[in-house]
A and B are shown apart, each in its own frame.
Chain A
Amino acid sequence: MAISRGLARRTVPEAADIISTVEFNHTGELLATGDKGGRVVIFQREPESKNAPHSQGEYDVYSTFQSHEPEFDYLKSLEIEEKINKIKWLPQQNAAHSLLSTNDKTIKLWKITERDKRPEGYNLKDEEGKLKDLSTVTSLQVPVLKPMDLMVEVSPRRVFANGHTYHINSISVNSDCETYMSADDLRINLWHLAITDRSFNIVDIKPANMEDLTEVITASEFHPHHCNLFVYSSSKGSLRLCDMRAAALCDKHSKLFEEPEDPSNRSFFSEIISSVSDVKFSHSGRYMLTRDYLTVKVWDLNMEARPIETYQVHDYLRSKLCSLYENDCIFDKFECAWNGSDSVIMTGAYNNFFRMFDRNTKRDVTLEASRESSKPRAVLKPRRVCVGGKRRRDDISVDSLDFTKKILHTAWHPAENIIAIAATNNLYIFQDKVNSEMH
């Protein structure tokens, strides 16, 4: 892994700068981040330059805009945070790019267009666009397009409001490219991208009496190829695959993926640590990747009884769950990501560490995203967390992990080995060296 760049320059992180989501577009040419301040920053990959081959693949700021503003719900006397919970790119249909961004309640569709030419020489308008005095028009001319500095324009196209009573945790664009869904704690809605005033409720797990509520929806995603299939995960560690052909309201799942609890690991915190914080279909559509507090799991769509692979992310925290419960870390929602070929998975951890697991070789590595250790083009060194008394040089002990530095949001380029890591208010982009040791 080489080439890394920290982007935020403030030394003291401000809450609004904390990155809350990271997402590559379908080609990987663009990368969008959202932050707690409601801003969206889009990065574009620079084209390869011949005289500086190393600069290939560097991402530079392309556009920044304010997506959401803080609001106040006067009926409930509650603040609605502007924090961007998720960003999803729409498949590109024309020269423009489009993305969906959402906070807790409202989803917005943004269109990003480029302009590098402007028309000149209108007959009836002057340079400022004002109508000319007709008496001064003595001859006809053909307007021409003149090149100008590149301008990136971002405009709001649609606002999908009032669809959710609870907090939106996921949005997912369907493979039909016409619809998308949004999931909150208890319901999932299906929207048409062009229609903002109505949505269809496709899942509703709200019990008649809220006192019976013991489970919430934590994440949801459409199948990458079958537009009728989607999956949602729950706070009890289960995954439900639903088929929209079966019924309009998918209250009955088609498949339930659930692993029986290991009695030897049973504790007060069993349920909390089994709560699924993220679910992602593999690019092939055959597998699902889930993250819970201590592990990442790979599920085969054809096997519901248990995951086919389970990887420990930071098992050394198992003895610290009580403290992690007390300081609320146990509720952190770590995301997970597949690489382009579905052979490697990645997820975050504490102390600015993130983990990668190679599914074929079963090798895993812990890497650190920090400004000190990641000078541009430096190679990341694997890190180790030691549990027992024996400690090698450069190892870090469990007790000295910094739980305020957590990597919750990560993204993997859809085709290449480029990853984006959000560490609090810094975005790191790491790129695989040619024939790197990882793959």
Chain B
Amino acid sequence: MLGKGEKRKFDEHEDGLEGKILSPSDGPSKVSYTLQRQTIFNISLMKLYNHRPLTEPSLQKTVLINNMLRRIQEELKQEGSLRPVFASAAAAAAAAATASPPPDSLSDSYREAAPPALSAPAPPPAHACDLGSTTPLDACLTPASLLEDDADDTFCTSPAAPPAAAARLSAPAPPPEKDSFSSALDEIEELCPTSTSPGAAAAAPDSSRGGSGAPGGPKPEDPKLMDSLPGNFEITTSTGFLTDLTLDDILFADIDTSMYDFDPCTSASGPASKMAPVSADDLLKTLAPYSSQPVAPSQPFKMDLTELDHIMEVLVGS
């Protein structure tokens, strides 16, 4: 049942899962809740940014979506995965998300309220400027149907890529002095330059966002990454809708980033495919025990599950 899944038990994962690769069979019940939460989180973010230009989004909807994000963040905080500085700012950041992303669309008072919220996490000014542009957002937010197509393509045409990425991610145990996230960031940064396929442009914002998104992270802007990408990358990367978040800095210190970035699709460099494997329906079909439609265990889904286990492993590795 939705949301009835047990809360992830942190110690259990720590004891049982660290350093060992899970078989896909024993994951779902524990993973499903986290994954579902992540899916809802992703959908919520999409919704906040994906509104019709020139029309005022429904305040009621925005508030409800925000409360959802807040709630999930609260949960994450309680699970101890947020560092203190972010924890204190997390709630305010969720509110800032309402205020800041659609600047044209909310009332003046709405906007006036934003700055106090933003002051706590101290967002990079570049990002704040990016908020104004709506066109890049649209370019980045692919309709669900497209995403699904992408997912299929990715799974079908490059089946070798995900396992490779997986092996890469699962191999090194996180160094003790770094938390899982920063180590994960390093991984991504190493991975990303290698993806030179047409999707590179799409994949790149993710990594940069990951890099610059963690203020406490060890490498806010990896020079290697910068070199490997097309020129004036830093200016143009506002296309990543996550980059536009002023609360990135907080959010991406948390597992959601890893969720995106470790995704087999992203590492396989499918354009705009980061949302693809976690479409809600897919999840429900694959994971939910109450689903009325039995889904034939297809190869893509299995792969997905293996990936998830790796993700969990890295997440729990801290």
A contact residues vs B (CB 8 Å cutoff)? 76-79, 81, 104, 165-167, 185-186, 206, 209-216, 218, 235, 266-272, 275, 318-319, 321-323, 325-326, 328, 331, 398-399
Q: CA of A281 to CA of B71 in the docked complex: distance in angstroms? A: 33
Are A78 and B104 neighbours in the complex by a CB distance under 8 Å? yes
Bound Cα distance A211, B108 (Å): 14
Q: Say if the beta carbon of B39 comes within 8 Å of chain A.
A: yes
Q: Compute how far the CA of A210 lies from the CA of B108 in the bound complex, rounded to whole angstroms.
A: 11
Query: Which residue of A has the minimal Cβ distance to B72?
Result: A268
Q: A167-B59, A269-B3 are in contact. Are A326 and B64 (CB under 8 A)?
A: no
Query: Could you tell me if B60 and A216 are in contact, using CB atoms closer than 8 angstroms?
Result: yes
Give 6 CB contacts A-B under 8 Å: A79-B54, A214-B63, A214-B70, A235-B64, A266-B4, A270-B3
- Cα of A267 to Cα of B43 in the assembled complex, Å: 16
**Nearest-CB residue, chain B, relative to A324:** B280
Question: What is the CA–CA distance of A218 and B1 in the complex, to the nearest angstrom?
Answer: 28
CB nearest to A169 among chain B residues: B60
Known: A210-B95, A214-B66, A328-B61. 20 other contacts (CB 8 A): A76-B56, A165-B107, A166-B107, A167-B56, A209-B95, A210-B112, A216-B60, A218-B60, A268-B3, A268-B36, A268-B72, A269-B3, A272-B68, A275-B60, A319-B1, A319-B292, A322-B36, A322-B281, A331-B60, A331-B64
Contacts of A206 in B (CB 8 A): 109
Contact of A267 among B2, B56, B108 (CB under 8 A): B2
A209 CA to B284 CA in the complex, in Å? 38
A325 to B2, CA, bound (A): 12
Q: Is the CB of B40 within 8 A of A322?
A: yes
Residue of A nearest to B95 (CB): A211
Inter-chain contact B95/A212, CB cutoff 8 Å: yes
Tell whether B135 is near chain A: CB-to-CB under 8 Å. Answer: no
Bound-complex Cα distance A77 to B59 (A):
17
Mask of B29-71 contacts with A, CB within 8 angstroms, 1/0 = 0000000110110010001000000111011110110111011
Q: Chain B interface mostly helix, strand, loop or mixed? A: helix
Contact B59 A214 (CB under 8 A): no
B195 at the A/B interface (Cβ < 8 Å)? no
Bound CA–CA A398/B39 (angstroms):
23
Which B residues are CB-close (under 8 A) to A165? 107, 109
Closest partner residue, chain B, to A331 (CB atom):
B61
Contact B113–A210 (Cβ < 8 Å):
yes
Chain B residues whose CB sits within 8 angstroms of the CB of A267 once the complex forms: 1-4
Cα A270 to Cα B3 with chains together (Å): 9
Cβ contact within 8 Å between A398 and B3: no
Q: A209-B113, A275-B64 are in contact. Are A322 and B283 (CB under 8 A)?
A: yes
